[in-house]
Amino acid sequence: MSAPTIRDVAERAGVSKSLVSLVLRGSEQVRPEKRQAVLAAVEELGYRPNAAARSLSERRTRSVGVLLNDLRNPWFVELLDGLGSRLHENGLHMMLADGRLNRHLGEDLTRIFTELRVDGLVAVGTLPGSDELLAAATHIPTVVAGAVEPVLPHVDVVAGDDSYGAALATEHLVDLGHRRIAHIAGQGVAGELRRTSFEKVMHAHGLTDLATVEQGDHTEEGGYRAMVRLLTAPQRPTAVFAFNDIAGVGALSAAEELGLQVPRDLSLVGYDNTYLARLRHLWLTTVDNGSHDIGRRAAQLLVHRMKDPRRAAETVLSEPRLEVRGSTGPPSTE
Amino acid sequence: MSAPTIRDVAERAGVSKSLVSLVLRGSEQVRPEKRQAVLAAVEELGYRPNAAARSLSERRTRSVGVLLNDLRNPWFVELLDGLGSRLHENGLHMMLADGRLNRHLGEDLTRIFTELRVDGLVAVGTLPGSDELLAAATHIPTVVAGAVEPVLPHVDVVAGDDSYGAALATEHLVDLGHRRIAHIAGQGVAGELRRTSFEKVMHAHGLTDLATVEQGDHTEEGGYRAMVRLLTAPQRPTAVFAFNDIAGVGALSAAEELGLQVPRDLSLVGYDNTYLARLRHLWLTTVDNGSHDIGRRAAQLLVHRMKDPRRAAETVLSEPRLEVRGSTGPPSTE
DNA sequence: GACAGTTTATGGACCGGTCCAAAGAAGGGC
DNA sequence: GCCCTTCTTTGGACCGGTCCATAAACTGTC
């Protein structure tokens, strides 16, 4: 009744369980006819290896834990795609844990992965409660993807080059002829990098006095409010660079509600190139930070670190690319 | 060096490993001072149970596999939220496998779960390659959430009541005074249920001749094209009910591109109440099918089925709710 | 203080694999 | 036919828990 084990297969094939194990692990040291017998028995019994037993004995699980804090953010999903494909090439599984989905678990997401004895850990984005993560990272090979924040002795980091990306966006607006340009800033390290870079580029063009920064957050609402503040101020900007696409969409709503046409009266750039920006209705000019690529590289770094846990931590920046769509254009000449 | 085991804890606490096991599983049959000693040893050594060993011996994993085919669809994520919370209440874990993320794995998603010996399976939405699923469902307690399709002897189904939801949407438009109403249809069983219900309601109002159905799909592009066809036809509708929010957004773009104002010149209803519909910029009237609730119920059904695998399959429909926003209004009177 | 009854603690089998030392079979040379 | 080498195959220990039958330690009674 219960699932067949390796011993059942052995008995059926008339060999020892050790031989079955050898065949199943693809050993060359097995006479062909025995191999056939074993494979036939496996087929007939519908044998499936028991992962728990295997990993108990092998002392590894061939799986890596992926911690992220919001599956609702399409950016993460894109990254997961790249991550998963490269991990799979290395015979590894991905186990997802969403900080938000599992918030009812308290902070013990990493605890679960510890008990599961994952072979590696990938932290995607900026995580809350990273103390836990730090503790885990001392035992388990760990890579941080998509955030630059927790830098630890043996933890690699892969992220988009936020400074460069923000520069791309700002330069684009300046090139179009805009002078009075605002930035809707985000939080965290990424937010700061983008803001600083925006200010630096503006400064380099001698536009320091025309640069405004309005604090927003990662939400649509935040972008909306920031934009309302920007547009009701005495000197309104002719172009706005938003921290991310979501904030950008909020900003877009505000602009249209206040009667401005985009891009005629106002140019707008987002960040992340999520599918929001690709919606025909929004068609946002944005910065693509290559999430898929970031995911792949994170996987690669993790694989290396699993082979050699004590190597020096590496930081890789992925080069972003400007994606020009319909929300930017030259400033109106009137 | 390697992680402490239950025996290390036992030695440190001066008791047998069995006693440690008892304490860890919360037995009452342990003298308080011994319990303290064990807990102290656990703390000092930083002991963490080994999930593989435990499940090998217990012959269960306390985890359920969740199969879904597109994490990019925000609707699924909402459902996962409900699913996860209820599963957690029952001491169960969720292991996610995305059919699209893992397409490179071939069809063996369920195989992985079989090897992992998950205690249950939840299929979210309509899955490709459901042969595999069907096979697995004969061994493993299984529940289908969010789709009505694969009905099997011992598989429960939870879904939104698509007929009712579509009726809500259609009635809403009729109530507003619309007569010439179109539907952008989706694929699959859900698509058919919604379309049929739309037609039935139109018929009930004696509007059969004014009802149009245009085939779309689940994408923005499909919605866009369908809308273009609808609006360039000789008699354009004054209201459109789209299969889902994404198609609705595409339809919205088409309408605005053709110079129509929503809702003045055209009313539009979506389906799913995803965060797309909630974006201030789109502010789509839509049908909320209570994904969170569906997720919770799916978890509940699975828990029941795990207790009694042979009980008759149950089908639960969750009642949708109309969410009126800015994309619908009375038809223009001119 | 002996005995029965109840709590509490323990050793060892078991879950289903991997791995290794050693046994067995096959082949080659003389 | 015998010995040596190289391939194959095997039994048994082990991974780290759970669980159960039994042992040990208390309690209370007469």
**What pLDDT score was predicted for residue B109?**
77
Pairing relationship of beta strands A321-323 and A286-288 according to DSSP bridges: antiparallel
User: In the complex, which nucleotide's C1' lies nearest to the CA atom of residue B17?
Assistant: C10
Q: Is A30 near strand D, with its CB below 7 A from some atom of it?
A: yes
Q: Is B24 near strand D, with its CB below 7 A from some atom of it?
A: yes
Are the beta carbons of A72 and B71 separated by less than 8 Å? no
CA of B7 to C1' of C3 (A): 37
Q: Is A151 near strand D, with its CB below 7 A from some atom of it?
A: no
Closest residue to D9 measured CA to C1′: A19
Q: How does pLDDT run along chain A (334 residues), one tens digit per residue?
A: 689 999 999 999 999 999 999 999 998 889 999 999 999 999 999 999 999 999 999 999 999 999 988 787 778 888 998 999 899 999 999 998 877 666 555 557 788 899 999 999 999 887 665 677 778 888 999 999 988 766 688 899 999 999 999 999 999 999 999 999 999 999 888 899 999 999 999 999 999 999 999 999 888 999 999 999 999 999 999 999 999 999 999 999 999 899 999 899 999 999 999 888 999 889 999 999 999 999 999 999 999 999 999 899 999 999 999 999 999 999 987 5
Contacts of B212 (CB under 8 A, 6+ apart): B180, B181, B182, B183, B230, B233, B237
The amino acid occupying position A246 is I
**What pLDDT score was predicted for residue A109?**
77
**What pLDDT score was predicted for residue B127?**
67
**What pLDDT score was predicted for residue A130?**
63
Query: Phi, psi (5° rounding) for residue B160?
Result: -75, 155
E strand intervals along B169-260: 181-185, 211-215, 239-242
Task: Judge whether B98 and B314 are in contact, CB under 8 Å.
Answer: no
A31 touches chain B (CB under 8 A): no
A310 touches chain B (CB under 8 A): no
The amino acid occupying position A297 is R
The amino acid occupying position B12 is R
**What pLDDT score was predicted for residue A104?**
55
B99 touches chain A (CB under 8 A): no
Task: For residue A97, give the 3-state DSSP assignment.
Answer: strand
| Alpha-carbon gap, residue A195 to A214, rounded angstroms | 10
Contacts of A125 (CB under 8 A, 6+ apart): A68, A69, A70, A73, A76, A145, A146, A147
**What pLDDT score was predicted for residue B1?**
67
Are the beta carbons of A80 and B101 separated by less than 8 Å? yes
Give the closest residue to A96 by CA, choosing from B72, B86, B96.
B96
Chain B interface, mutation test: which of A24, A83, A111, A279, most B Cβ atoms within 10 Å? A279
Residues of A in contact with B326 (CB under 8 A): none
Are the beta carbons of B279 and A55 separated by less than 8 Å? no
For A41-95, the pLDDT digits (tens) are 999 999 999 999 999 999 999 999 999 887 877 788 889 989 998 999 999 999 9
Task: Judge whether A255 and A262 are in contact, CB under 8 Å.
Answer: yes
**What pLDDT score was predicted for residue B66?**
93
Are the beta carbons of A52 and B52 separated by less than 8 Å? yes
Are the beta carbons of B117 and A51 separated by less than 8 Å? yes
**What pLDDT score was predicted for residue A211?**
95
A96 touches chain B (CB under 8 A): yes
| Alpha-carbon gap, residue A239 to A260, rounded angstroms | 12
Residue in A closest to B255 by C-alpha: A281
Residues of A in contact with B100 (CB under 8 A): 81
Q: How does pLDDT run along chain B (334 residues), one tens digit per residue?
A: 689 999 999 999 999 999 999 999 999 889 999 999 999 999 999 999 999 999 999 999 999 999 988 787 778 888 998 999 899 999 999 998 877 666 555 557 788 899 999 999 999 887 665 677 778 888 999 999 988 766 688 899 999 999 999 999 999 999 999 999 999 999 888 899 999 999 999 999 999 999 999 999 888 999 999 999 999 999 999 999 999 999 999 999 999 899 999 899 999 999 999 888 999 889 999 999 999 999 999 999 999 999 999 899 999 999 999 999 999 999 987 5
**What pLDDT score was predicted for residue B100?**
67
**What pLDDT score was predicted for residue A332?**
83
| Alpha-carbon gap, residue B277 to B80, rounded angstroms | 19
State the distance between the two ends of chain B, measured CA to CA, in whole angstroms. Answer: 82
Contacts of A17 (CB under 8 A, 6+ apart): A6, A7, A9, A10
CA distance B207 to chain A (A): 31
| Alpha-carbon gap, residue A145 to A156, rounded angstroms | 8
Task: Mark residues 49-108 of chain A whose C-beta is closer than 7 A to nucleic acid strand D.
Answer: 53, 56-57, 59
**What pLDDT score was predicted for residue B97?**
84
Q: Counting beta carbons within 10 angstroms of the beta carbon of residue A1, is it exposed (0 to 12), middle (13 to 18) or buried (19 or more)?
A: exposed
Proportion of chain B in helix, strand, coil states, percent, rounded to 5? 45, 15, 35
Residue in A closest to B99 by C-alpha: A81
pLDDT averaged over every residue in chain B:
91
Residues of A in contact with B72 (CB under 8 A): 74, 77, 275
The Cα-based distances of A84 to A77, A298, A307, B72 in angstroms read 10, 10, 18, 15
E strand intervals along chain B: 63-68, 93-98, 120-124, 142-145, 155-160, 181-185, 211-215, 239-242, 267-269, 286-288, 315-318, 321-323
Q: Is the dihedral of CA A10, A13, A16, A20 positive or negative?
A: negative
CA of A19 to C1' of D12 (A): 14
Q: How many CA atoms lie within 13 A of B235 on its CB side?
A: 8
Residues of B in contact with A98 (CB under 8 A): 80
* Ordered DSSP codes for A249-313: HHHHHHHHHTT--TTTT-EEE-SS--HHHHSTTT--BEEE--HHHHHHHHHHHHHHHHH-TTSPP
- Here the tokens at position B283 are 């502010």
**What pLDDT score was predicted for residue A217?**
85
The amino acid occupying position A205 is H
**What pLDDT score was predicted for residue A300?**
96
